[in-house]
Amino acid sequence: MSIEYMANNGTVFKADEDNLTGGVVVESCWLITTLQLGADFAEFGAWHRSEIWEGLKSFAGYDAVRYDYKEL
**Predicted pLDDT of residue 49:** 97
CA distance 40 to 57: 26
Nearest to 26 by CA among 53, 49, 45: 45
Burial class (CB in 10 A: 0-12, 13-18, 19+), 62: exposed
Q: What is the pLDDT of residues 34-49, one digit of tens each?
A: 999 999 999 999 999 9
Q: Which amino acid is at 50?
A: S
Q: Domain segments of the chain: what residues?
A: 3-71
Name the band, by pLDDT with cuts 50, 70 and 90, for residue 58.
Answer: very high
Entry pTM: 0.95
**Predicted pLDDT of residue 67:** 98
Q: What is the pLDDT of residues 5-45, one digit of tens each?
A: 999 999 999 999 999 999 999 999 999 999 999 999 999 99
